[in-house]
Structure 1
Amino acid sequence: MQLFIDSYGAYLGVKDEMFWVKPQHSTPQLVAVPKVKCIFLTRGVSVSTNAMRMAIENSIPMLLLDAIGKPIGQVWSGQFGSIATIRRNQAFFAESNKGIDWIKKIIEAKVLNQIQLLKYYEKEQKSINPYLLDLEIEYEKLRRKVIDFTLPKSEIKATLRGLEGFSGKCYFKALNFVLPKNWQFPTRSTRPAKDMFNCILNYMYGMLYSFVELSLMKAGVDPYVGVLHADQHRKPAMVFDIIECYRIYVDEACIALAQHELLSEQDFQRLDGGGMWLGNSGKPIVIQYFSKFLEAPVRGKKEKHKRTTQIDLDSFALATILKKYNHE
């Protein structure tokens, strides 16, 4: 299980060799160590050093999240899950032609996932999505794009980012079409979100960043050395790269939340000057729903892996590529 502690004034400690979770205004509970895969903490939560130590000794990552659920730091043993050769090769791979080929496939997979999701809802809702064709055209442009490796890597990456960005605009227009009227939005918005759908989208993306970063670390891949996304101080560039394959998990979960009306306007906090955050009543609903969603099998796959397992399998597959990569 993923242990999320997100109520202000809550406390995480140790009792009887188990994690002891004490919310400020409700009954404490004990959680057995073997059940916990990861611990997520939000602002206003207190943690004992005994709880930190028990997490470290049992290889349980402890992540600190910001207001929209994105990880800002973590407590861990400082040891990657595999040999240093992977991370040495990763730096060369990030600037290689093979690295460019790899990230192009990642982007193609992302857009294809989006098309398949929209087609699923076309069939489900028995209606033609007028924006789907635009996305399919952009996918064909991307798929047929032949990389000219004589060009500077920066120029190649800028071209790929441009294709990805335009397909993203087409996608969100089409995605908006499948939503209930009260959940539709005029444009994609991030910090802060301008509407309810973008609000839960941003929060779940933040959760997803945590899962992907931990998965890479377990596999021995450095989350901070990416291919498409530029290396920036304290920015996990490889997470930004590989997460593109899994954004569809968030999109699908958010659509389901909206369609089943599991949240109302009272679950959001409006900000001065416009925008909104997910409120205290909404966070537990989103966290619980998305956590269960990630533990369910991937829809349509022949091999029925949990979504979290699929992320881990892909991280270890990338680690294998990096381990065998010959940069000479």
Structure 2
Amino acid sequence: MQLHINTYGTYVHVRDQMFEVRRKLESGEIDKKPYSPQKVTHIIMATGTMLSTDAIKLAMQNNVDIVFVEQDGEPLGRVWHSKLGSTTKIRKAQLEASLSAVGVRWVKSWLLTKMDNQLQFIKDLKKHRPQHADFLNDKLTRMEALCVSVHTLEASRVTEIADTLRGLEGTAGRLYFETLSYVLPKEYQFSGRSNRPARDAFNAFLNYAYGILYSKTEKSLIIAGIDPYVGFLHRDDYNQLSMVYDFIEPYRIYADEVVFRLFSAKKVNKAHTSPLVNRNGEAGATLNAEGKALLVGAFNEFMDGDPVRHRGRNLKRSQILQSDAHQFANELIQKNERAKE
């Protein structure tokens, strides 16, 4: 269970060794809801909410992740216990892989999986939209060619082909989102990806969903012993979670699918977003409390709902992230040890 605390003035504290969430209703009454720390996995705190130090302590004692996010869902920081949770051998192997062909193999695998997920999603859309077959087939052909280009790239380290990879991935992403927009009802169509601010409701929902997914990905990597800051493809800029941005790529489809379903089913309306002007004076849209409640509920149901088949096992999507993070860590160590023999 995840607690998403995003209503202004909501307070999370401890009562009888339980998390208690308190918020003031429009009637003036105080609503109080208790949650067992054994059942909570994340506490997501948006700006304008409050958290007691006792709640932080209880969370750390029960391995509950606390994440602070902007109103658009972008993570600001997190509270995590001080134990590494795994051997430092993993971090050493991760650093060595970032400077070798091992990193190239992983980056290509993540990007190809992401692009294959996008292709499969479009193919699924085509099954129920025969009137768009020509448009969809054209996009599929062009995206498949980009996958071939990624697959054939070779290098001794990622930096040698990083710009090419980003270009191919970016082109595939543009074609993919053009396709999603094209098949949506006209009132929901959008012009490409936009962030900070989102220029439309679809991007506002997608940005917030990605924010949730960033948090889940970072936690999965930390638990597996992976350093979230040492990436292979994304640049190691100051305070940048480069490995989170690398590792998340195959799982972005989770956010895409949830948001697309909400819009294609016409469950989103104007009451779910509010106008926004960023620091540069650019106008856009952001999710309000109603929009966040709609998205968070749908996203959690999707991630923790019925299991799907993955690597020969039936796993919930939230479990897939953690399982793959552990596999990544284990393969890094094994590859590193074989190289030294």
Shift of residue 299, structure 1, vs aligned partner: 5.6
Deviations 1:39-77 (A, max 9, x none): 110111111111000101111111101121121111111
Q: What's the CA shift for 1:132?
A: 4.3
- Pick from 129, 132, 147 the counterpart of residue 128 of structure 1: 132
Matches for 1:1-328 after TM superposition, within 5 Å = 1-25=1-25, 26-129=30-133, 130-144=135-149, 145-149=151-155, 153-272=158-277, 273-297=282-306, 303-326=313-336, 328=340
Change (3 A) 1:10 1:124: same
Distance 1:9 1:132 in 2: 50
Between the aligned partners of 2:128 and 2:16, the Cα distance in structure 1 is: 50
Q: Structure 2: how far apart are the matches of 1:283 and 1:306?
A: 22
Q: Is the 8 A contact 1:41 1:65 kept in 2?
A: yes
| Equivalent residues of 1:115, 1:132 under 8 A apart | no
Unaligned segments of structure 1, at least 5 residues: none
Number of residue pairs matched by the alignment? 327
Between stretches 262-271 and 118-127, larger displacement belongs to: 118-127
Shift of 1:101: 1.2
Is the contact between residue 110 and residue 244 of structure 1 (CA under 8 Å) also seen in structure 2? yes
Q: How far is the alpha carbon of 1:79 from its aligned partner?
A: 1.8
Residues 21 and 28, structure 1, Cα contact 8 Å, conserved in 2 = yes
Change over 3 Å in CA distance of 1:49–1:276 after alignment to 2: same
Q: 3-state SS of the aligned residue for 1:4?
A: strand
Q: Aligned residues: percent identity?
A: 35
Alpha-carbon spacing, 1:243–1:270, altered in 2? closer, same or farther (3 Å) = same
Q: Residues 103 and 158 of structure 2 are in contact (CA less than 8 Å); yes or no, is this contact kept in structure 1?
A: no
User: What is the CA distance between 1:78 and its match in structure 2?
Assistant: 2.2
Q: Is the 8 A contact 1:8 1:24 kept in 2?
A: no
Which has the larger strand fraction?
Answer: 2
| Counterpart residue type for residue 264 of structure 2 | Q
| Farther-moved stretch of structure 1 (128-137 vs 66-75) | 128-137
Q: Unpaired runs of 5+ in structure 2?
A: none
Shift of 1:138: 3.1
Q: Secondary structure at the match of 2:314?
A: coil
- TM-score normalized with structure 1 length: 0.94
RMSD between aligned alpha carbons? 1.8
Q: What residue identity is the alignment partner of 1:105?
A: S
Give TM-score scaled by structure 2 length: 0.91
CA distance in 2, matches of 1:238, 1:193: 24
What is the CA–CA distance in structure 1 between the aligned matches of 2:91 and 2:69, rounded to whole Å?
26
- Structure 1 residue ranges, 4+ long, deviating more than 6 angstroms after superposition: none
Deviates more, 1:199-208 or 1:264-273: 264-273
Tell me how far apart the structure 2 counterparts of residues 154 and 185 of structure 1 sit (CA, whole Å).
33
Alpha-carbon distance in structure 2 between the residues aligned to 1:94 and 1:105: 14
Structure 2 contact 158–232 (Cα < 8 Å) conserved:
no
- CA gap of 1:37–1:153, structure 2 versus 1, over 3 A, is closer
The separation in 1 between residues aligned to 2:62 and 2:141, in whole angstroms, is 46
Amino acid corresponding to residue 294 of structure 1 in structure 2: M
Query: How big is the shift at 1:80?
Result: 2.5
Residue 153 of structure 1, CA deviation: 4.1
